Amino acid sequence: MAAGRRTVGLALRLGWRAHPAAAVTLALLTVLTGLLPIGAAWCTKVVFDGLATGAPAPRVIGFAVAGAVLGGLSVVLGYLAAQVNAVAQAAVALAAGEELYRRVAGFVGIAPFEEPAFRDRLALAEQAAQQAPQVIVSFAVTAGQSVLRVAGFAAVLVTLNPSIAALLLAAAVPELFIQLALARRRAAAAEAANPSFRARTLFQSLLTDVRAARESRIFGLGDLFRDRMLGALRQAYAVELRAGRQAALVQSGLALASAAVLAAGTVVALRGVLRGELGIGDLTLFLGALASLQGGLSAVLAQLGEVGATVRLFGHYARLVGTDASLVDGGRPAPPLRLGLTFEDVWFRYRPDGPWVLRGVTLTIPARSLVGLVGVNGAGKSTLVKLACRFYDPERGRILWDGEDVRDLSAASLRRRIGAVFQDFMAYDLTAAENIGVGEPTRLHDTDAIRGAARTARIDETLAALPRGYATMLSRIFAGEDGEEGAALSGGQWQRVALARSLLRDDADLLILDEPTAALDPQAAHELTRALRQARTGRAGLLISHRLSALRDAGLIVVLDGGVVAEIGDHDTLMAAGGAYARLFSLQAADYQDERVRA
């Protein structure tokens, strides 16, 4: 309950912050539109009473006109309120999106993005953040109006027939609880349907994604994906429809009960008139009050149910923006790397109940020197890279940046000192210049720096020769600003762009390259390895490659095997030791032997 109140408070504050003027205007309009119908009903009563008692014509006509004017005014104000509400709603959606995504983008770690539960929460939070403040505010608005109206009519009713008034108000209590229970079910249904809706989106994107389109055609996956998409959708709708059916049944029962109370009230009132206790004006007022009171109460209660469901969903938003679902950021800025980056008995697994990926890794990447990392697929090389960037924290052991635990450093300042090409680098749907520029957002428009990095990565000529040079969109699904079509790059060209991106930050103390030449042709790989050696001068480097020849001149080569450091040393030492590295190196060398080459 307290959590619910906090959530409502948060939603209302969000509404207030988003557009204070709209909030105040709405509150004023609420009071006015709540009071006007009571005035109109009163005028009608005076008219009927006047007619029955033979009051002077100008008075009767005056009240009739006043009643009509009040009625018309309340309709106009209703439209005005709807417009102001729309303004407030847009402002709230923007403010909520801003807050939610600032928080999500600020997560220190990346583990939440790999959790299905987090994805579900994010989807619900997104949906609720757009709706909740608006639903809660408009509930507050209509509830405010209804309460005023209900109170007014209840006062009228109490003076005319207290027992009927009491009966009506008492009947509202069970309805309140029933509506709240329905709300809980509706929210639970939305939560239960969400994973299915997400699955639907996934298969939908597989049916339309360019890359998936190729495999989907060669393997004939279209029917499979379509069936899974429809299956997920069917499941989601089944959950929602079941909840909807229950709600419709219960609401119908409530409507019948209301009708019974209304009928009883009408009978009582008619008997009063027949006995001469009530005038004809009283009768119209009584019936009007009865219908309005009951309608008002039911509307408030039904809306309360609606708002209850929304508040529960908005709880996901509140929890997301209120807590950091991820690692805790350290406070100290990372100093320049003078000694090195050290892994000290690092144990890591991706899930608390998962298998160990790193099992007591100890190694140092000394400042200004190059370390090569070798190992079979799944040995844990890329995992080591992700830990160095503090995307995750080790479960045991420490990672030290110049002797300081990276957990004590501000993650942003640590990452400012690192340049990286990840194994699964991004190909952004942006222009060629921006695709490199995002490597250092302060240089997004620094053409010279961008072209310099592109030259080092051996991609400058290719990009300059595109239809619009560096301003060409590198996308087949988004057109450029003036609608011109984008260009497509080859796999190896994209890898060079990713390399250029990492080189743009030329003041980074540590350059991490995870398989930077995997997609390059032999000559390009050879040239790039040399170019990178120059570009790296003065900085530490961690180079991961299955092409062992690229690592030959690394000061230190580390062989990772099953999450432990199996061998460590320079090329000559490791070859002399005749272990795993020597075996792998000889294997690769043998593959390249050819009598005709040697001759």
Ligand X SMILES: Nc1ncnc2c1ncn2[C@@H]1O[C@H](COP(=O)(O)OP(=O)(O)OP(=O)(O)O)[C@@H](O)[C@H]1O
Residue among 382 and 573 whose Cβ is closer to Mg ion = 382
Determine if 382 is a binding residue for Mg ion (CB under 5 A): yes
Nearest approach in angstroms of CB 528 to ligand X is 19
CA pair distance 147, 31, nearest whole angstrom: 10
Nearest approach in angstroms of CB 201 to ligand X is 21
Nearest approach in angstroms of CB 377 to ligand X is 3
Residue among 83 and 423 whose Cβ is closer to ligand X = 423
Residue whose beta carbon is closest to Mg ion: 382
For 341, list phi and psi in degrees, rounded to 5.
-105, 125
Determine if 423 is a binding residue for Mg ion (CB under 5 A): yes
Residue among 63 and 107 whose Cβ is closer to ligand X = 107
Residue among 446 and 561 whose Cβ is closer to ligand X = 561
Nearest approach in angstroms of CB 589 to ligand X is 20
Residue 416's nearest CA partner among 495, 327, 337, 325 is 337
The H-assigned helical ranges of 106-161 are: 116-160
Of 92-100, 183-191, 299-307, 382-390, which segment contacts Mg ion by CB under 5 A?
382-390
Of 14-22, 37-45, 226-234, 421-429, which segment contacts Mg ion by CB under 5 A?
421-429
Picked from ligand X, Mg ion, none, the partner binding residue 127 (CB below 5 to 8 A depending on kind) is none
CA pair distance 440, 437, nearest whole angstrom: 6
Picked from Mg ion, ligand X, none, the partner binding residue 34 (CB below 5 to 8 A depending on kind) is none
The H-assigned helical ranges of 275-399 are: 280-322, 381-388
Residue among 197 and 581 whose Cβ is closer to ligand X = 581
Nearest approach in angstroms of CB 113 to Mg ion is 18
Determine if 547 is a binding residue for Mg ion (CB under 5 A): no
CA pair distance 69, 75, nearest whole angstrom: 10
Residue among 149 and 390 whose Cβ is closer to ligand X = 390
Picked from ligand X, Mg ion, none, the partner binding residue 380 (CB below 5 to 8 A depending on kind) is ligand X
Picked from Mg ion, ligand X, none, the partner binding residue 177 (CB below 5 to 8 A depending on kind) is none
Nearest approach in angstroms of CB 350 to ligand X is 3
Dihedral of CA atoms 15, 17, 18, 21 in degrees, nearest 10, equals 90
Nearest approach in angstroms of CB 374 to ligand X is 9
Picked from Mg ion, ligand X, none, the partner binding residue 350 (CB below 5 to 8 A depending on kind) is ligand X
Nearest approach in angstroms of CB 350 to Mg ion is 14
Count of chain residues binding Mg ion (CB under 5 A): 3
Of 136-144, 235-243, 250-258, 419-427, which segment contacts Mg ion by CB under 5 A?
419-427
Nearest approach in angstroms of CB 399 to ligand X is 15
Nearest approach in angstroms of CB 357 to ligand X is 4
For 396, list phi and psi in degrees, rounded to 5.
-135, 155
Q: Are strands 510-514 and 418-421 parallel, antiparallel or unpaired?
A: parallel
For 162, list phi and psi in degrees, rounded to 5.
-60, -35
Q: Which x/- pattern over 340-379 shows residues binding Mg ion (rule: CB under 5 A)?
A: ----------------------------------------
Q: Output the furthest CA–CA distance in the chain (Å, rounded).
A: 128
How far does Cα 425 stand from its chain's mean position?
22
Residue among 382 and 462 whose Cβ is closer to Mg ion = 382
Angle at 160 between CA 283 and CA 289, to 5 degrees: 60
Each residue of 316-347: b (16+ CB within 10 Å) or e?
bbbebbeeebbbebbeeebbebeebbbbbebe
- Map 218-253 to HEC letters: HCCCHHHHHHHHHHHHHHHHHHHHHHHHHHHHHHHH
CB 337 within 8 A of CB 367: yes
Tokens of 529: 């390895």
Nearest approach in angstroms of CB 377 to Mg ion is 8
Residue among 23 and 373 whose Cβ is closer to Mg ion = 373
Residue among 363 and 379 whose Cβ is closer to ligand X = 379
Binding residues vs ligand X (CB under 6 A): 114, 350, 357, 375, 377-383, 423
CA pair distance 262, 290, nearest whole angstrom: 7
Residue among 381 and 505 whose Cβ is closer to ligand X = 381
CB 406 within 8 A of CB 399: yes
Residue among 56 and 116 whose Cβ is closer to ligand X = 116
Residue among 225 and 343 whose Cβ is closer to Mg ion = 343
Picked from ligand X, Mg ion, none, the partner binding residue 439 (CB below 5 to 8 A depending on kind) is none
Report the interhelical angle of 116-160 vs 2-18 (nearest 10°): 90
Residue among 471 and 568 whose Cβ is closer to ligand X = 568
Each residue of 163-173: b (16+ CB within 10 Å) or e?
ebbeebeebbe
CA pair distance 472, 557, nearest whole angstrom: 40
Of 27-35, 404-412, 423-431, 479-487, which segment contacts Mg ion by CB under 5 A?
423-431
For 366, list phi and psi in degrees, rounded to 5.
-65, 150
CA pair distance 538, 164, nearest whole angstrom: 89
Nearest approach in angstroms of CB 219 to ligand X is 23
Picked from ligand X, Mg ion, none, the partner binding residue 534 (CB below 5 to 8 A depending on kind) is none
Distances (CA, A) of 485 to 214, 458, 472, 488: 21, 24, 8, 10
Distances (CA, A) of 526 to 443, 570, 579: 28, 20, 26
CA atoms within 13 A on the CB side of 159: 11
Nearest approach in angstroms of CB 128 to ligand X is 28
Residues at the interface with Mg ion (CB under 5 A): 381-382, 423
